[in-house]
Structure formats: structure tokens, C-alpha cells
């Protein structure tokens, strides 16, 4: 038994190392003295962090990305939850068709969607670039919300809803007071997934790029193709740190240990 | 007198399958009626139609004289205790208990607090208001769900197998408490269960259901001693069912020839004719065993096949010379016979009933 345990621990460590190594490399290169982000590095400096701090373009892009991600995540969370509730309550052919339509962005390559959005918006000229991105991102975010909310709904006992109705709560009140609180965890994890999908998006933006909507991934890509200085690594290192903090906080507030049932 | 709840020709059909088939029930205020039957007999479907969680295919539901067939559950003045309690996991006990009151428009915090305290003390659960359901034991959760239903003072309370998730001992104790509580507060209740013992102890009336129909609706005593059908006789308690042909009908009782040639007298609640093939019910406690040398009349020869000591009684399985196997229960003081002993069997004539 002991032998298996040791083997298991080693295997686990290797997998974690494999997952974390790229991040570690990024962090290491951010301290390098050279003008290009290469590994292994030589020397140690913090100048790339101070340069990152003073790069207005990067901050502007982060802000645009956030502005898009927050709005598109809100829209997709509401729509995705509504669609999930519909799927939960309905059976039949129509539901199957809708399921296919809504879940497609998860299996169809994003490039295909990117082309589709480009074509669609080229005929809808009245949509400003910002909303083009928000709406496009919504379409690819919704399946993530649906997947996570649906999982929560299928684990939900219908008798909670029934108890609420029998105790005199109208269907809408039942939804707000009982059903939604019961699937809170599913909605929150859906929101996290959706936010990451939007903030991270690097394919659609290539097709719908516009001078007013240079998102963070696009800015990063442009910088890498033109300069590739360790400032990119410094910026990324900060993002890695922020991500870990956010995940930790979410785990503490909504984590398994503190959730009901 | 108008009844508190009336089901009129209630039908629920699923794609050609009748889950509930023309059910008629009337119960008076303060009465407890059980719907008893094996799984799939339609008892839960019936309850859900009363609750408004299902719409009947045909027929009507009347609550306190008012037709509520089409009303949604939240407009019916009812309450329900669920099998898994269905306590809202994100609300504290207090939030659960006052949920129904808030929906009925009571907003005053003081009144809500007072009512919650009152009802929790009735179910003997003081001081748990600020706990979450998951922090309570199964029995406590059951009490909270009872309190949550009771506090709204509904016109009728519905129970959907509320005790099936409790352990055996707690189940026996709780069912008596539930009955006492309902009686004390004069609450009308419909109680769904598949446990005949539970139905017998808790109810004023029992409707035994089978295949979507009511086989018999009667008081527990009547159901046990005068079952109308073979199904009821078999479902409630232990039963010896002997096949026989009706020989002679006189006032109040009939003579039946068992297929082995024994002629027995029995009471008959059902309409019968001479020559009918029927079953006779003899409860195990209405059969006596005598030593083989006894000379009393109406004794039949038999051999003991099994003897099981159950504490308060000894349950025997004996086989008559004619081949019929019987189950009987004898007080331990008189349980002299051992396995393979020859004995004489006597039926208690007043307690033999013709059924089905």
C-alpha cells in the first residue's frame, strides 16, 4: 500500500508541475535584465514592473477588456440561467433543438463563430464596435453558464419548489426565494467560467478588431509580435497573482466547505 | 353537513394509463384519512391533485365547500409535509417556519416571531430558530416541516409518507405524536402511506387503494375485521384466506363449504348468492390450537409445521389434514405444541368473514 501511495504522490506532483511550470517560467522571465523575454534569464531587475506600471496602453486595454467582460458576463448569466430553467422544465423536440443551438459554441471552433460574427455585423452597421464584441462574447459564454446552472438544477429536488408553492408563494416568488438561492453555487461558477471566456478571448477579437476596442489579449499579442520585452511577463505575473487571489477568495466564500448540502 | 374535503369522480390519466380512476372521498373537519396502498396504486397522485401540484383529467376537488379543481397550489389554503421534508436549505429554521405566514401577508416581525415560537414549542423544538436545517437530525427536521405546515392553519394538511425516512423506533413514536397533535388542534388531514400499521394507528378513516381505485374506505377497525375484498384482507394484517363455495344463506351469516369438504359458518358483509365461489378470511389470532385428544366440537386435525416465538405471541404455521396451510397466533402460555406435533384446530366462528 505504501508503495502505491508514494507512486501516487510522485505522479500528482509531476502533473501539478506540468500545469504550473509555464506560469513559473513567465514569472521568472519578468525579472530578467535582457530586453527580450527569454528563458533562462540572466540578472535580476524590477524595472519591467515599473515600466508595466507606466504603460498607459496596457492599462487602457485591461480596462476595455473588463468593460466588455463585465457586461457580457452579466447578460450571459441572466440569459443562461433563464435558458437553463427552461430546459429544466421542458421536454420534447423543441428543447432538443434549442439545446443544440445554445450549446454549439462549446464544440464548434471559435474561428467559425468569429467569421459568422464578422459577416453578420458587416450587414448590421448600426452596432458600435463595443457592443459587437459584447454580443459576440455573450453567444460563446452562454453555454458555460448553461452547463454549470443545469448541473445545479439537476441536483435540485423539485420538492423545494413544490413546498414553496403549497405554502402560498407564487411561481415568481418561488423562483427568487427558493429556486435561485438553491442553485446559487451553479450560477456563480457559471459566471466565473463566462468571465474568463470573455476576458481571455483572442480569436473573435482578431476578426472584429477596431482601434477603439483593443482588448488586453489583443494588446498582448501585438506587443509580443513587435517587441516581446519582459514587461509582458511582468504584466502577466501580476495577472497570475490576481487570479490566484480571486480563486482563493471565491473558494473561501462559496467554497465546498461553506455551501449548503 | 358539508364536508371539509370532497373528491368527486377524480381521474388522472397519463397517455392512456389511468393512475387514478374515479375516486370519491368525503371527509369531515378534524378527521384524518389515510390513503393506503402498494407503490403505484395512485395514492400519491391523488394527494398531489388535492395539493394542486397535478391537474385532474376528470372530476373535481372541493375544499370546505369551494371548488378548487382549477386553482393553483398557492391559492389553495393547504399545507403539505413532504417525504424528504423539503426544508429550504438556504433558510434558517425561523425562515422556513414563517415562509407560509409571509406569503399570507403577515409582515409584522413581532407576530411572526411569536407564531414561530408558539408552533415550535408545540412540536417540542424550542430554541432552534437560528439553526439551518442541515444542522438538525432527521427527526428534528421532520418536526420543523410539521411546524412549517401547521403554522399557517391550513384548511387541510397533506402528508406524503412523512415518516419513511426515519428509523423504525422514531417512526412509531412520531406517528402517535402526529395523531395527537392533529386531534388536539382539530386539523383535517390526508395521510399517504404504504405502511398499514402506520395507517391503522394514525387515521380515523382509511382508503385502501389498488390500481388507481379505492378498494374500501372504512374505519381502521372495520377494515381489519370486515374487509370487503380479498386485496384489503391480504393487505391489512396477516390473513388466512380459504377458498369455498356458498352453501346456504341465512340472516346475518352464511354456510360455506371449503374445497376440502369442511363446512364452516361465517359472517358476510358482501352481497352473495348460493353457489358463489368466495374467500373466507380468518385472522391468525382467531384460530385456536387444542391437544390432539380434545373432544370439543368443530375441531379439525392438523400438524404443526413452524413455530416462531415473537415475544407477545407465538406464530404457528399448521397444515390441515386436507392440505390447507394456516397461520395462527397463540398466547405463549398456551403455545404447547412443537414442530411436527399433531394438534386440533378450531376457528373462532364469530370472526370468520366472507370476502371478495
What is the predicted pLDDT for the residue at B341? 87
Instruction: State whether B150 and B76 are in the same domain.
Output: yes
A173–B99 C-beta distance less than 8 A: no
**Quick one: average pLDDT of A245-255?**
81
- Selecting from B83, B84, B152 the residue whose C-beta is nearest the C-beta of A167 gives B152
Cβ-based neighbours of A204, under 8 Å, separated by 6 or more: A110, A113, A114, A117, A133, A136, A137, A140
pTM of the model: 0.82
Question: Cell numbers of B173, please?
Answer: 413514536
Domain-located, residue B231: no
A182–B80 C-beta distance less than 8 A: no
What is the predicted pLDDT for the residue at B40? 87
In CATH terms, is domain A2-258 a member of 1.10.3720.10?
yes
Q: Are the CB atoms for B136 and B120 separated by under 8 Å? A: no
pLDDT tens readout for residues A63-120: 999 999 999 999 999 999 999 999 998 888 999 999 999 999 989 999 999 999 999 9
Instruction: State whether B201 and B313 are in the same domain.
Output: no
Instruction: State whether B176 and B123 are in the same domain.
Output: yes
Q: Which residues does chain B have within 8 Å of residue A92's beta carbon, measured at their own beta carbons? A: none
B83–A159 C-beta distance less than 8 A: yes
What domain count does chain B have?
A: 2
- Selecting from B79, B86, B134 the residue whose C-beta is nearest the C-beta of A160 gives B86
Question: Cell numbers of A240, please?
Answer: 497570475
CATH number for the domain spanning B347: value is 2.40.50.100
- Chain A residue at shortest CA distance from B151: A167
Going by the DSSP 8-state scheme, the letter that residue A256 receives in this structure is G
For B303, the domain range is 238-355
Q: Which residues does chain B have within 8 Å of residue A166's beta carbon, measured at their own beta carbons? A: 51-53, 73-74, 76, 78-80, 158
Q: Which residues does chain A have within 8 Å of residue B68's beta carbon, measured at their own beta carbons? A: none
State the pLDDT confidence band at A255, using cuts at 50, 70 and 90: low
A165–B74 C-beta distance less than 8 A: yes
Instruction: State whether B46 and B101 are in the same domain.
Output: yes
Domain boundary among B175, B192, B226: B226
Domain-located, residue B91: yes
Nearest-Cα distance to chain A for B326, in Å, is 45
B148–A166 C-beta distance less than 8 A: no
Phi, psi of A201, deg, nearest 5? -60, 125
What is the predicted pLDDT for the residue at B348? 82
Phi, psi of B263, deg, nearest 5? -100, 125
B51–A169 C-beta distance less than 8 A: no
What is the predicted pLDDT for the residue at B269? 66
Question: In this complex, is the C-beta atom of B83 within 8 Å of any C-beta atom belonging to chain A?
Answer: yes
Cβ-based neighbours of A160, under 8 Å, separated by 6 or more: A178, A179, A182, B86, B88, B89
User: A40: cis peptide before it, omega within 30°?
Assistant: yes
Instruction: State whether B208 and B264 are in the same domain.
Output: no
User: How far is the CA of B102 from the CAs of A224, B98, B127, in angstroms?
Assistant: 60, 6, 21
Whether the predicted pLDDT of A260 surpasses 70: no
Whether the predicted pLDDT of A130 surpasses 70: yes
Question: In this complex, is the C-beta atom of B107 within 8 Å of any C-beta atom belonging to chain A?
Answer: no
Domain boundary among B156, B191, B226: B226
Question: In this complex, is the C-beta atom of B260 within 8 Å of any C-beta atom belonging to chain A?
Answer: no
What is the predicted pLDDT for the residue at B43? 93
Domain-located, residue B152: yes
**Quick one: average pLDDT of A160-167?**
94
Domain-located, residue B146: yes
- Chain B residue at shortest CA distance from A179: B88
What is the predicted pLDDT for the residue at A33? 85
Question: Cell numbers of B158, please?
Answer: 397533506
Q: Which residues does chain A have within 8 Å of residue B80's beta carbon, measured at their own beta carbons? A: 162-163, 166
Question: In this complex, is the C-beta atom of B104 within 8 Å of any C-beta atom belonging to chain A?
Answer: yes
Q: Which residues does chain A have within 8 Å of residue B90's beta carbon, measured at their own beta carbons? A: 181-182, 184, 260
Chain A contact residues (CB < 8 Å to B): 157, 159-160, 162-171, 173-174, 177-178, 181-182, 184, 260-261
Instruction: State whether B167 and B22 are in the same domain.
Output: yes
Instruction: State whether B263 and B324 are in the same domain.
Output: yes
Q: Which residues does chain B have within 8 Å of residue A167's beta carbon, measured at their own beta carbons? A: 74, 79, 99-100, 103, 148-149, 152
Instruction: State whether B196 and B295 are in the same domain.
Output: no
The complex scores an ipTM of: 0.84
CATH number for the domain spanning B102: value is 3.40.50.300
Nearest-Cα distance to chain A for B104, in Å, is 7
Question: In this complex, is the C-beta atom of B264 within 8 Å of any C-beta atom belonging to chain A?
Answer: no
Instruction: State whether B215 and B262 are in the same domain.
Output: no
Instruction: State whether B221 and B325 are in the same domain.
Output: no
State the pLDDT confidence band at A227, using cuts at 50, 70 and 90: confident
Instruction: State whether B211 and B101 are in the same domain.
Output: yes
Q: Which residues of chain B fall short of a pLDDT of 70?
A: 1, 260, 269-270, 356
Q: Which residues does chain A have within 8 Å of residue B84's beta carbon, measured at their own beta carbons? A: 157, 159
B86–A260 C-beta distance less than 8 A: no
Domain-located, residue B233: no
Instruction: State whether B35 and B109 are in the same domain.
Output: yes
Nearest-Cα distance to chain B for A187, in Å, is 15
pLDDT tens readout for residues A41-64: 888 888 889 988 888 999 999 999
* Averaged confidence pLDDT in chain A: 90
Q: What residues pair up with B10 in beta bridges, in sequence order? A: B23
Q: Are the CB atoms for B321 and B300 separated by under 8 Å? A: yes
Whether the predicted pLDDT of A138 surpasses 90: yes
A166–B52 C-beta distance less than 8 A: yes
B88–A164 C-beta distance less than 8 A: yes
State the pLDDT confidence band at A257, using cuts at 50, 70 and 90: very low
- Selecting from A162, A177, A181 the residue whose C-beta is nearest the C-beta of B53 gives A162
What is the predicted pLDDT for the residue at B1? 54
Domain-located, residue B299: yes
CB pairs under 8 A between A and B: 71
Q: Are the CB atoms for A215 and A201 separated by under 8 Å? A: yes
Question: In this complex, is the C-beta atom of B90 within 8 Å of any C-beta atom belonging to chain A?
Answer: yes
Amino acid at each position: 500500500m505504501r508503495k502505491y501511495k508514494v507512486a501516487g504522490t510522485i505522479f500528482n506532483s509531476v502533473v501539478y508541475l506540468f500545469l504550473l511550470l509555464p506560469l513559473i517560467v513567465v514569472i521568472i522571465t519578468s525579472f530578467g535584465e535582457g530586453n527580450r523575454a527569454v528563458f533562462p534569464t540572466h540578472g535580476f531587475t524590477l524595472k519591467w514592473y515599473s515600466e508595466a506600471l507606466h504603460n498607459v496602453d496596457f492599462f487602457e486595454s485591461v480596462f476595455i477588456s473588463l468593460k466588455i467582460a463585465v457586461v457580457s458576463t452579466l447578460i450571459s448569466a441572466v440569459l443562461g440561467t433563464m435558458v437553463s430553467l427552461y430546459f429544466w422544465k421542458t421536454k420534447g423536440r423543441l428543447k432538443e433543438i434549442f439545446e443544440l443551438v445554445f450549446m454549439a459554441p462549446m464544440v464548434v471552433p471559435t474561428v467559425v463563430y468569429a467569421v459568422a460574427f464578422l459577416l453578420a455585423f458587416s450587414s448590421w452597421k448600426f452596432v458600435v464596435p463595443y457592443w459587437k464584441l459584447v454580443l459576440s462574447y455573450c453567444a460563446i459564454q452562454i453555454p458555460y453558464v448553461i452547463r454549470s446552472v443545469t448541473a445545479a438544477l439537476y441536483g435540485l429536488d423539485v420538492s423545494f419548489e413544490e413546498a414553496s408553492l403549497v405554502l402560498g408563494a407564487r411561481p415568481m416568488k418561488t423562483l427568487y426565494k427558493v429556486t435561485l438561492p438553491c442553485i446559487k453555487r451553479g450560477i456563480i461558477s457559471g459566471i466565473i467560467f463566462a468571465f474568463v471566456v470573455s476576458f481571455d478571448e483572442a480569436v473573435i477579437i482578431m476578426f472584429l478588431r477596431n482601434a477603439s476596442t483593443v482588448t488586453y489579449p489583443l494588446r498582448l499579442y501585438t506587443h509580443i509580435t513587435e517587441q516581446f520585452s519582459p514587461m509582458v511577463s511582468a504584466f502577466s505575473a501580476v495577472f497570475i497573482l490576481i487570479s490566484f487571489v480571486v480563486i482563493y477568495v471565491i473558494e473561501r466564500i462559496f467554497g465546498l466547505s461553506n455551501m449548503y448540502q | 353537513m358539508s364536508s371539509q374535503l370532497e373528491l368527486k369522480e377524480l381521474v388522472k390519466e397519463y397517455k392512456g394509463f389511468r393512475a387514478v380512476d374515479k375516486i370519491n372521498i368525503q371527509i369531515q373537519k378534524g378527521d384524518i384519512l389515510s390513503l393506503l396502498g402498494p407503490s403505484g396504486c395512485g395514492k400519491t397522485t391523488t394527494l398531489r391533485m388535492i395539493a394542486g401540484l397535478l391537474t385532474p383529467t376528470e372530476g373535481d376537488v372541493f375544499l370546505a365547500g369551494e371548488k378548487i379543481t382549477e386553482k393553483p397550489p398557492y391559492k389553495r389554503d393547504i399545507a403539505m409535509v413532504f417525504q424528504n421534508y423539503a426544508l429550504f436549505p438556504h433558510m434558517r429554521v425561523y425562515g422556513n417556519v414563517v415562509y407560509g405566514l409571509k406569503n399570507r401577508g403577515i409582515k409584522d416581525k413581532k407576530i411572526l416571531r411569536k407564531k414561530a415560537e408558539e408552533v415550535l414549542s408545540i412540536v417540542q423544538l424550542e430554541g432552534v430558530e437560528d439553526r439551518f436545517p442541515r444542522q438538525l437530525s432527521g427527526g428534528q427536521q421532520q418536526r420543523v416541516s410539521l411546524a412549517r405546515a401547521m403554522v399557517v392553519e391550513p384548511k387541510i394538511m397533506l402528508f406524503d409518507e412523512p415518516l419513511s425516512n426515519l428509523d423504525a423506533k422514531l417512526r412509531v413514536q412520531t406517528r402517535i405524536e402526529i395523531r395527537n397533535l392533529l386531534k388536539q388542534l382539530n386539523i383535517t388531514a390526508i395521510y399517504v402511506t404504504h405502511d398499514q400499521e402506520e395507517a391503522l394507528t394514525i387515521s380515523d378513516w382509511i382508503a385502501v387503494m389498488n390500481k388507481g381505485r379505492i378498494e374500501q374506505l372504512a374505519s381502521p377497525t372495520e377494515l381489519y375485521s370486515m374487509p370487503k375484498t380479498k386485496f384489503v384482507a391480504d393487505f391489512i394484517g396477516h390473513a388466512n384466506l380459504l377458498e369455498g363455495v356458498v352453501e346456504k344463506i341465512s340472516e346475518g351469516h352464511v354456510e360455506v363449504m371449503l374445497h376440502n369438504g369442511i363446512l364452516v359458518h361465517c359472517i358476510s358483509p358482501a352481497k352473495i348468492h348460493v353457489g358463489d365461489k368466495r374467500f373466507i378470511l380468518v385472522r391468525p389470532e382467531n384460530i385456536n390450537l387444542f391437544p390432539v385428544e380434545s373432544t370439543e366440537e368443530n375441531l379439525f386435525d392438523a400438524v404443526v409445521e413452524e413455530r416462531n416465538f415473537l415475544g407477545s405471541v407465538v406464530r404457528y404455521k399448521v397444515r390441515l389434514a386436507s392440505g390447507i396451510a394456516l397461520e395462527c397466533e397463540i398466547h405463549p402460555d398456551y403455545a404447547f405444541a412443537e414442530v411436527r406435533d399433531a394438534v386440533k384446530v378450531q376457528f373462532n366462528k364469530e370472526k370468520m368473514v366472507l370476502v371478495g
